[in-house]
Chain A
Amino acid sequence: MKFGVLQFPGSCDEVDAQLAAARVGEAVLLWHRDRDLQGCDAIVVPGGFSYGDYLRAGAIARFSPVMESVIDFAEQGGLVLGICNGFQVLCEAGLLPGALLPNANRRFTFRQVDLDVVNAGTAFTRACDPQERLSIPAKHSWGRYYAPDDQLDALEASGQVVLRYAAGQNFNGSLRDIAGVTNERGNVFGLMPHPEHAVDALTGSTDGLRIFESMALSIQGAHA
């Protein structure tokens, strides 16, 4: 399978995302001005500070030429993963519910966090055991997940809350400890922590690979 990793001016984690995806498939970078997704089976919107995060994180990137193609791709059921700034972009694009707000702790925070897999039945977590705990780094100043209460209830009821910060690990003040959500259809997923930085034992954890392995399994299943 082939992953396409978007590259905006100001992206900074696209190469790690490409290297992580390359452990389970082929992976290419897709420049923000190009509309051609090059036949990719799945798209990764990476972390960083796209377009300088001017106005609001993700607000400008969401209108880039490549994102027009990604929005079409997602509407056709294609798998789209948004990490950190990518999560913000997908929320701004309306592909995911909710918004990311400044951390409640008022700081840029970089730490390894434990995440509880709440739903191991999604296209992005099927390689995880139910209730598995993943150790993955998070690094952001704008990662407090917010949605109105009634929307949060609906997300929980429909299994769209996929990852939560483990007890005591919710440093950014995300509502209901939410670290990652999918859209209603389940083909678009966003999370603030960085699975692409946890794919080699050298850096302490390989738990992030589960996300990429899950996506590869989902694509292979669709082609089988």
Chain B
Amino acid sequence: MRARVLIRPKAGILDPQGVAVEQALPALGFAGVQNVHVGRIVELDVEDASQLDEMCRRLLANPLVEDYEVQLLGDDGHAAP
């Protein structure tokens, strides 16, 4: 089973990477950009998808400061509906 884990800084926690990107975009002429947040993606093949939540809590994310979202991917590599 192919899975994708999206990890984001929790709402309300200062996200310096997001701020840096938000300030860089106007420098390229892109106006009107707000609330930029930078997270990361972990994609993995797993035999037992029921373990994904524990994998996230124990390693892939730090639940104190990050939110995570698990997506199971279909054969076409897209998130299952």
Contacts and interface: CB of A to CB of B under 8 A. Distances in A.
Interface residues of B, number: 11
Contacts of B59: 55, 59, 63
Chain B facing A: main interface SS:
helix
Contacts of B60: 55
Chain A facing B: main interface SS:
loop
B65 interface: yes
A101 B20 contact: no
Q: Report the contact-size class of chain A (Cβ under 8 Å from the partner).
A: 10 to 19
A106 interface: yes
Contact of A104 (B16, B64, B65): B16
Contacts, number: 31
28 contacts: A55-B59, A56-B62, A59-B59, A59-B62, A63-B59, A92-B62, A98-B64, A99-B62, A99-B64, A99-B65, A101-B13, A101-B14, A101-B65, A102-B16, A102-B17, A103-B16, A104-B14, A104-B16, A105-B16, A106-B17, A106-B19, A106-B20, A144-B14, A146-B13, A146-B64, A147-B64, A148-B64, A173-B14
Interface of B: 13-14, 16-17, 19-20, 59-60, 62, 64-65
